[in-house]
């Protein structure tokens, strides 16, 4: 799969999974990344879908019983996007797959618990007793004292911390008055004149509320150094972002060898595919008719069904068309 973005990593791969609602009968594979779920067909890469964890509303598994596959597990997802809701059903096709969809739930929980890496936090518990709660794989590069937050008329004196994933400012007199801003939510960085003199101005993205944050750092030389450092760290982060989802598969779980195309074709119902193809072709031929002799076929009595029906076109049988209906 070649459309993985920078900073995105594939954490697990689940083979032999069917997108039951959208591509029934087509065997596919789920890629579990640190940002989303990707399902794609192994027989035709034109069929694929991507579901970001932030779009998922509910997720659960159910035990389903099929006459073809027996008892297996299905993953039900309800998501939202573009003011619409979408339901997805992924069915496990491999009877030997005992872990089912456990890794998806594990990664989703990690994603929900790591919003500090991706979202702007105001007045949160990021600082306790004057100490920043450092996150996994976070490195503090600089601690700058005497930084004024210009969000109010009088300004607030505090400390600015610069790490590899975010910048944090908190007031010296009240640690709960703080800001945690990940680099991924920064729209622009610049130095502008204010009524307090030269100030570092940070514009956040619309997803972070489109805030304009101002900080005054004395002397002006130190302000320039901090500005250049933040520009450099923001550029590095943009190329290789850290999204905060760190997952390792359990040691006792081994992924089955990747199936070949032949194996996947054997798992699919070949007979069902032929029936579907014939039924689709039959409907297409009928719809393309122009009302001439080719479409005006005489009725006859069908002994198999016990009623009269129009004669079938050459190359089709009653079984081809009847068996397309699912067995009850």
Q: Any idea which fold 10-114+245-282 has? A: PH-domain like (2.30.29)
The pLDDT assigned to 162 comes to: 97
Give, in words, the CATH class of 120-239.
mainly beta
Spell out a b/e string for 101-118, using b for 16 or more CB atoms within 10 Å of the CB, else e: bbbbebbbebbeebebbb
At 324, is the secondary structure helix, strand, or coil? coil
pTM: 0.72
The pLDDT assigned to 289 comes to: 53
Kindly state the DSSP code that residue 118 receives in the 8-state scheme. T
Q: What is the distance between the alpha carbons of residues 149 and 241, in angstroms, rounded to a whole number?
A: 27
What is the mean pLDDT, run by run of 10 residues, along the chain of 328 residues?
83 91 88 94 84 95 78 91 90 77 94 96 92 94 94 86 96 93 96 90 94 91 94 95 90 50 38 50 57 63 80 76 54
The pLDDT assigned to 249 comes to: 76
The pLDDT assigned to 85 comes to: 93
At 224, is the secondary structure helix, strand, or coil? helix
The pLDDT assigned to 98 comes to: 66
Enumerate the CATH 2.30.29.30 domain ranges in the chain, comma separated: 10-114+245-282, 120-239
Q: Using alpha carbons only, what angle is made at residue 207 by residues 238 and 36, rounded to the nearest 5 degrees?
A: 65
């Amino acid at each position: 799969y070649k459309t993985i973005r920078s900073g995105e990593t594939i954490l697990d791969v689940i083979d032999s999974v069917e997108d039951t609602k959208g591509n029934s009968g087509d065997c596919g594979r789920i890629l579990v990344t640190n940002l989303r779920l990707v399902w794609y067909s192994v027989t035709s890469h034109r069929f694929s879908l991507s579901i970001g964890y932030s779009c998922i509303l509910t997720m659960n598994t159910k035990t389903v019983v099929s006459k073809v596959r027996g008892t297996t597990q299905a993953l039900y997802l309800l998501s939202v996007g573009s003011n619409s809701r979408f339901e997805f059903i992924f069915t496990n096709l491999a009877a030997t797959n005992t872990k089912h969809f456990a890794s998806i739930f594990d990664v989703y929980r990690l994603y929900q618990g790591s919003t500090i890496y991706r979202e702007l936090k105001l007045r949160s518990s990021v600082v306790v007793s004057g100490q920043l709660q450092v996150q996994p794989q976070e490195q503090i590069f600089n601690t700058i004292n005497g930084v004024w937050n210009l969000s109010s008329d009088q300004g607030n004196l505090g400390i600015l911390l610069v790490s590899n994933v975010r910048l944090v400012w908190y007031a010296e007199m009240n640690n709960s008055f703080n800001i945690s801003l990940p680099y991924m939510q920064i729209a622009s960085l610049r130095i502008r004149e204010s009524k307090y003199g030269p100030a570092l101005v940070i514009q956040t993205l619309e997803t972070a509320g489109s805030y304009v944050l101002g900080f005054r750092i004395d002397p002006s030389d130190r302000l320039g150094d901090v500005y250049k450092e933040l520009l450099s760290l923001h550029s590095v982060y943009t190329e290789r972002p850290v999204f905060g989802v760190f997952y390792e598969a359990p040691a006792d779980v081994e992924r089955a060898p990747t199936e070949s195309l032949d194996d996947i074709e054997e798992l699919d119902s070949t007979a069902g595919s032929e029936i579907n193809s014939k039924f689709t072709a039959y409907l297409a031929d009928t719809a393309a008719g122009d009302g001439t002799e080719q479409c005006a076929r005489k009725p006859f009595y069908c002994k198999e069904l016990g009623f009269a029906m129009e004669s079938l076109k050459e190359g089709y049988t009653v079984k081809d068309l009847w068996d397309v209906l699912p067995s009850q």
